[in-house]
């Protein structure tokens, strides 16, 4: 498929606001994508690799502006691109407005007209940018990007720039892709959804649906080494759990970071909740798995930092492990970590997603007796309250209540896992802006604009300026500065990258913020390094909490 065709379809999809029509347009696009179906299914969501693959393009805004400016000719600088972005607010519109290809002569052959860009070529080229590393790779990336922009027509440039910066924003999320695959290739939504959960790869699912129909979709299996999304929890009470399920399976809720363990029988690989490979940061977990398991397996659990007596340390401590990537040995001496495994998705060739929780837990215990969490099944609220007090007194975060009969549903925040924490008045929000501080904090950001996730972007719910120590302000500044998109006066526009946990007293309706809500007394609790903007709390959740 020509990239121009893809761009024209993307523009039509972006211009359509009705959900059903959007699904129809995406389904038509999938139907016409031919060999490029996999790439197209990813591109509409702004992805260049499957969701299970943590390869990053690693092109910051500045590099993209530089490549655009170069393709726009001698009279345009990266600063001009940035200024235009501040004025129009969106990189696609900026790229579309530039007169690109001023230096086409440098790239072109024959009659001076370059071949049209194709989807396959854009995909190949962006992947080559993603894998470029080592000395000189920044120049290579800039040159390669320039080569693409230099050949792009205005509409192509619009979607290319957005793809490069991971901001496709044509209103197509995973739900739309699921429905469009179902419509285009006449499969049931359930079958497509399940295949997406199991493979975490919309390209594979779209191709399978087209070529092998529902039978093919249901034959898709978990694969060791290909992480799936983590099953998620809602908040709830013991009474709710018992009323819904009769019995509740109770486990300690550990305050650490989620890991998914993939063991192929020889080497374990560990993935974070964002599906990044974190194997090298957690050697003791690797050792523990190698010591205990002798068959291929996929396990789910939490890694917690502990002091020398084994007492759990706050969540922030375990994060030090991930920050000190290059000095894991020193970090290991600094903070010890422990694995608490709570689920088992696959053992020795057998997928267990559809096996009830209690049975999965038995399989886990057989394979990893030392690290498997205790699970108590109870229908007595008092007994559950005792388990909660015990967990809290040992320094843990609280308890999890799980439906003993439930299957494992990757990526779902369903009703089958409930978290009971004493303090639930916090939200995980994305930082999308900041304001410079005043007085002795004048060279640091002092106030942070925090946003909830919406279907196609982020909308602010408040500004956070309290609860932050001077030391933390410096850390936050360093963390956010690389993500600055533009500045106007004292206000700074920041690309969504960092998630804050924000405490608050109340949610109010508000015309001031784009979300329509405002948090009363928002205060900074911490950075959620384990979450990406896609995991932040949604506008829908905010609405529910409000009502």
Contacts of 282 (CB under 8 A, 6+ apart): 259, 270, 303, 321, 337
**If binding is defined by CB under 6 A, does position 412 make contact with ligand AMP?**
no
Contact 202, 41 (CB under 8 A): yes
- Give the count of residues interacting with ligand AMP (CB under 6 A): 12
In the complex, the smallest distance separating the C-beta of residue 533 from ligand AMP, rounded to whole angstroms, is: 15
> Which residues are paired to 282 by β-bridges?
none
Q: Does 5 bind ligand AMP (CB under 6 A)?
A: no
Instruction: Report the C-alpha gap between 263 and 339 in whole angstroms.
Output: 15
d(CA 345, CA 531) in angstroms, rounded, equals 22
From the list 96-104, 250-258, 360-368, 483-491, the region that binds ligand AMP by CB under 6 A is 250-258
Q: Confirm or reject binding of residue 230 to ligand AMP (CB under 6 A).
A: yes
Work out whether 537 is an interface residue with ligand AMP (CB under 6 A).
Answer: no
Stretch that binds ligand AMP, among 141-149, 248-256, 277-285, 403-411 (CB under 6 A): 248-256
CA distance 431 to 429: 7
- Altogether, the residues listed in the chain come to a count of 547
- Residue with Cβ nearer ligand AMP (179 or 530): 530
Q: Which is nearer to ligand AMP, 183 or 251 (CB)?
A: 251
Nearer to ligand AMP, 254 or 271 (CB): 254
Which is it for the CA torsion 509, 511, 515, 516, positive or negative? Answer: positive
- From 52-60, 140-148, 200-208, 252-260, span contacting ligand AMP (CB under 6 A): 252-260
Q: Which of 17, 37, 23, 49 is nearest to 189 (CA)?
A: 23
Tokens found for residue 263: 């063991």
Residue 419 found at the interface with ligand AMP (CB under 6 A): yes
233 binds ligand AMP (CB under 6 A): yes
Specify the long-range contacts of residues 539-545, CB closer than 8 Å, at least 24 apart: 539/452, 539/453, 539/454, 539/459, 539/515, 541/427, 541/452, 542/427, 542/452, 542/461, 542/507, 542/515, 542/517, 543/517, 545/427, 545/507
Q: Pick the piece of the chain touching ligand AMP (CB under 6 A) from 19-27, 247-255, 360-368, 460-468.
A: 247-255
DSSP 267: -
Of residues 210 and 253, the one with the C-beta less far from ligand AMP: 253
Find the binding residues for ligand AMP in span 363-382 (CB under 6 A): 373
Binders of ligand AMP among 138-167, rule CB under 6 A?
none
Is residue 302 within the footprint of ligand AMP (CB under 6 A)? yes
Active site residues: 253
Q: Which is nearer to ligand AMP, 150 or 272 (CB)?
A: 272
CA 449, CA 492: separation in Å to the nearest integer? 9
Smallest gap from Cβ 396 to ligand AMP, in A, equals: 8
* Nearest CA among 33, 91, 27, 102 for reference residue 64: 91
Q: Is 258 annotated as a binding residue?
A: yes
The verdict on whether residue 302 carries a ligand-binding annotation is: yes
Instruction: Check residue 251 for interaction with ligand AMP (CB under 6 A).
Output: yes
Of the listed pieces 47-55, 66-74, 154-162, 253-261, which binds ligand AMP according to CB under 6 A?
253-261
Closest CA to 409 of 357, 368, 374, 457: 357
338 forms part of the interface with ligand AMP (CB under 6 A) = no
Counting contacts by CB under 6 A, is residue 529 touching ligand AMP? Answer: no
Decide: helix, strand or coil at residue 213.
helix
List the interface residues with ligand AMP, window 51-90 (CB under 6 A): none
In terms of Cβ atoms closer than 10 Å to its own Cβ (0-12, 13-18, 19+), residue 75 is exposed
Closest CB 342 distance from ligand AMP, rounded Å: 4
CA distances from 45 to 84, 122, 169, 452, 454 (A): 25, 15, 8, 19, 14
Binding-site member from 342, 500, 517, 524 for ligand AMP (CB under 6 A): 342
Give the annotated binding-site residues: 251, 258, 273, 302, 342, 413, 419
- Which residue ranges make up the annotated binding site for ATP? 251, 258, 273, 302, 342, 413, 419
Q: Under the rule (CB under 6 A), what is the footprint of ligand AMP?
A: 230, 233, 251-254, 258, 302, 342, 373, 400, 419
């Amino acid at each position: 498929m020509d990239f121009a065709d893809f761009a024209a379809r993307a523009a039509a999809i972006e211009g359509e606001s009705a959900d059903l029509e959007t699904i129809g347009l995406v389904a038509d696009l999938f139907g016409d994508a031919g060999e490029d179906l996999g790439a197209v299914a990813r591109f509409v969501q702004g992805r260049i690799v499957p969701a299970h693959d943590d390869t990053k393009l690693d092109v910051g805004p500045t590099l993209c502006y530089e490549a655009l400016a170069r393709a726009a000719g001698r009279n345009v600088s990266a600063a001009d691109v940035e200024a235009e972005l501040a004025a129009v607010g969106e990189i696609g519109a900026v790229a579309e407005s530039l007169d690109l290809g001023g230096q086409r002569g440098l790239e072109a052959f024959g009659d001076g007209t370059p071949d049209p860009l194709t989807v396959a070529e854009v995909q190949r080229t962006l992947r080559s940018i993603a894998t470029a590393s080592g000395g000189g790779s920044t120049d290579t990336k800039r040159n390669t990007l320039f080569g693409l922009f230099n050949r792009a027509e205005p509409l192509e440039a619009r979607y290319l720039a957005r793809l490069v910066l991971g901001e496709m924003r044509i209103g197509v999320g995973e739900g739309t892709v699921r429905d469009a695959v179902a419509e285009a290739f006449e499969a049931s939504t359930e079958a497509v959804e399940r295949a997406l959960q199991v493979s975490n790869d919309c390209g594979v699912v779209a191709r399978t649906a087209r070529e092998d129909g529902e039978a093919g979709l249901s034959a898709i299996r978990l694969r060791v080494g290909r992480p799936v999304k983590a099953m998620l929890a809602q908040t709830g009470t013991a009474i709710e759990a018992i009323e819904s399920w009769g019995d509740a399976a109770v486990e300690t809720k550990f305050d650490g970071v989620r890991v998914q363990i993939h063991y192929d029988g020889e080497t374990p690989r560990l993935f974070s909740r964002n599906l990044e490979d974190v194997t090298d940061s957690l050697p003791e977990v690797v050792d523990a798995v190698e010591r205990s398991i002798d068959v291929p397996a996929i396990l789910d659990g939490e890694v917690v930092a502990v002091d020398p007596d084994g007492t759990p340390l706050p969540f922030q401590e375990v994060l030090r492990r991930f920050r000190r990537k290059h000095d894991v040995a020193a970090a290991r001496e600094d903070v010890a970590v422990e694995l608490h495994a709570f689920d088992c998705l696959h053992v020795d060739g057998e997928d267990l997603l559809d096996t009830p929780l209690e049975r999965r837990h038995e399989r886990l215990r057989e394979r990893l007796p030392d690290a498997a969490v205790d699970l108590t099944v109870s229908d007595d609220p008092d007994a559950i309250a005792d388990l909660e007090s015990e967990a809290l007194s040992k320094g843990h975060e609280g308890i999890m209540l799980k439906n003993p009969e439930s299957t494992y549903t990757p990526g779902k925040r369903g009703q089958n896992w409930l978290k009971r924490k004493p303090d639930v008045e916090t939200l995980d929000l994305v930082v999308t802006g900041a304001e410079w501080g005043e007085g002795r904090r004048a060279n640091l950001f002092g106030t942070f604009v925090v946003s909830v996730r919406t279907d196609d972007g982020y909308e602010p719910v408040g500004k956070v300026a309290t609860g932050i120590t001077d030391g933390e302000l410096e850390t936050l500044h360093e963390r956010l500065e690389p993500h600055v998109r533009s500045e106007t006066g004292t206000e700074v526009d920041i690309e969504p990258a960092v998630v804050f946990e924000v405490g608050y007293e109340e949610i109010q309706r508000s015309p001031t913020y784009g979300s329509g809500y405002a948090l009363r007394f928002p205060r900074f609790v911490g950075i959620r390094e384990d979450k990406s903007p896609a995991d932040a709390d949604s506008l829908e959740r905010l609405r529910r909490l409000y009502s």
